[in-house]
Structure 1
Amino acid sequence: MILVTGGLGMIGAHTARALADLGHDVVVTTHRRTEVPSFLAGRVTVEALDVTDRDAFLALAGRHPIGDIVHLAGSIPGQDPLPYFRTDLSGLLNALDAARAWSVRRFAVASSLGVYIGSPETRWHEELPLPTADLPHPIIAFKKAVEPLTADALKGTGIQPLILRIGSTWGPLMDPESPFNPIPPYINAALRGERPRELHADDGGDTCYAPDAGRAIALLTTAPALRHNVYNVSSGRPFTNRDLATAVQAAVPGADPVLLPGGQGGGPYLDISRLTHETGFTPAFDLHRAVADYVAWRATETS
């Protein structure tokens, strides 16, 4: 059985679905979210758990034969980042404690494309040295710290650490006005019959549709063998705002996005060659298919 913490969040839920699609038994934990997405109903076991409660975390093994852990649970920082760091570090350490106590095979944990910030490259791949740079958000700072903490905590245990450098992911279950990704708010404005905010046509960068991210994580978690401990998870295809506007016009009748000319260029994106070579993963959704699928999902959620 595979444990997915934060398994009713956007990436967690799509990971759980992909694992179930591959035929695995899955238990997901949730703390604040109680509604189970329709695509998971009856397919996974749901456990209410505050991952900062070590005893409750370790007690899961008395109810489930857990062989792998995918740790995706996390919180959102407020104005003071210290409580956020305390909460998410506690959850990480408890998950690592559980992995060691249960002698799991593989421990996967969410990192971020943000660890590459400061690199002059535009194609970010796992062999790039991680630069020392001022980071724009506490979440990115914490994700960067997660990598050595996880690797060192599992050293010598026989448990394989799996660092997931997850790209700019969006899709079903994401807040449509999320400040963390510009695509859902852009689509949401069009669905309301409003003109989306003006973007520069040539700007863009990394993007990954949540069902693809979940499938990539599931393939990495269940692969018979992996040659590395760090993997980029994204589409491997940079997008531009011109692509986004065209996709929205095709999916939303009457949408009239206006693009500003030029921009700074496409921006950096994650190279997923390592992921593809070792698991066979290729994205099922290009940007046009992703926007169309998201618009259809929104229609079912609001009907």
Structure 2
Amino acid sequence: MILVTGGLGMIGAHTARALLALGHDVVVTAHRRVEVPAFLEGRVTVETLDVTDRAAFLALGERHAISDIVHLAGSIPGDDPVDFFRTDLTGLVNALDAARTWGVRRFAVASSLGVYAGRPEIPWTEDLSLPTTALPHLIIAFKKAVEPLTTHSLAGSGVQPVVLRIGTIWGPLVDPASPFCPIPSLVNSASPPPDLHTGDGGDVCYAPDAGRAIALLTTAPTLQHDTYNLSSGRPFTYGEFAAVMGIDLPPGGVNSPHLDISRLTADTGFKPQFDVAASVADYKKWRETNPR
């Protein structure tokens, strides 16, 4: 059985869905978000868990034979950055403790494309050294720290770490007003968000594709690396999405860097299944009966 922490969030739920499609049993943890999406209802075991509770976390291993862990649980920063770091660091350490205690095969953990901030190369590849630079968000700062904390914690344990440098993900279960990606607002609204231009864009991946990539990395018989970029592998412009929607955007804009996924494809065979038109159609159909 594979454990997905934060398994009812956007990326976690799609990861669980993809693991099920590959024939695996899945247990997901839920804390703040407890609504089970229709595509998981009756198909996964849901455990209510605050991942900062070490004893409760380790007790999962007494109820389930867990073979692998995908750690995606996280919080949203508030006014106190120390409180955010304490919460997410405690959850990470407890997950790593569980991985070592249970002797799981593989431990996959969420990092971010933001760790490359400061590198001028396009696209970003995993062999780039991560620069020392000012980071734009507390979440990115934490994700950058997650990487060495995970690999050092699991060194010599027999548990294989898999660092997931996750790109810009959108799709079913995303916050419709996400501050990290304007595509949900563009698709959901009859008019485009302000200050959006046809040439703006960069790294984008549809959530079901992202979930499938994580599932493949978690279950692949062998992996050649411990760090993988995870996205669509090409840059998109918001003008592409606007064209599918029949919306006009003003000219101009800047296309931001994107992730190279050659390593992911080579080791798992992953290729995105959703292009712009397919992702918009799938998301619009989902939103007909779902609030997010």
Q: Which residue of 2 aligns with 1:259?
A: 249
Q: Which residue of 2 aligns with 1:217?
A: 214
Counterpart contact for 1:169–1:208, Cα < 8 Å: yes
Deviations 1:26-54 (A, max 9, x none): 00000011110000011110000000000
Counterpart contact for 1:216–1:281, Cα < 8 Å: yes
**1:196 Cα shift?**
3.8
Deviations 1:219-254 (A, max 9, x none): 0000000000000110002101211211222xxxxx
Counterpart CA distance in 1 for 2:229 and 2:239 is 25
SS of residue paired to 2:288: helix
Deviations 1:96-152 (A, max 9, x none): 000000000000000000000100012011011111110000000000000000000
Counterpart contact for 2:3–2:68, Cα < 8 Å: yes
Q: Which amino acid in 1 is paired with 2:201?
A: G
Counterpart contact for 2:49–2:56, Cα < 8 Å: yes
**1:182 Cα shift?**
1.1
Alignment map for 1:1-303 (pairs within 5 Å): 1-190=1-190, 194-249=191-246, 257-264=247-254, 266-301=255-290
SS of residue paired to 1:28: strand
Identity score, percent: 70
User: Greater shift after overlay, 220-229 or 181-190?
Assistant: 181-190
SS of residue paired to 1:164: strand
Counterpart contact for 1:187–1:196, Cα < 8 Å: no
Structure 1 gap segments, 5+ residues each: 250-256
Counterpart CA distance in 1 for 2:276 and 2:259 is 15
Deviations 1:57-97 (A, max 9, x none): 00001100001000000000012211110000000000000
Counterpart contact for 2:2–2:26, Cα < 8 Å: yes
Counterpart CA distance in 1 for 2:216 and 2:224 is 14
Counterpart contact for 1:177–1:188, Cα < 8 Å: no
Counterpart contact for 2:202–2:258, Cα < 8 Å: yes
Counterpart CA distance in 2 for 1:109 and 1:148 is 11
**1:198 Cα shift?**
4.4
Counterpart contact for 1:247–1:292, Cα < 8 Å: no
**1:189 Cα shift?**
1.5
Counterpart CA distance in 1 for 2:135 and 2:50 is 28
Moved over 2 A (4+): 194-198
Counterpart CA distance in 1 for 2:38 and 2:58 is 28
* TM-score, normalization by structure 2: 0.97
* TM-score, normalization by structure 1: 0.94
SS of residue paired to 1:215: helix
Q: Which amino acid in 1 is paired with 2:210?
A: A
What is the Cα-based RMSD across aligned positions, in Å? Answer: 1.0
Counterpart CA distance in 2 for 1:225 and 1:196 is 44
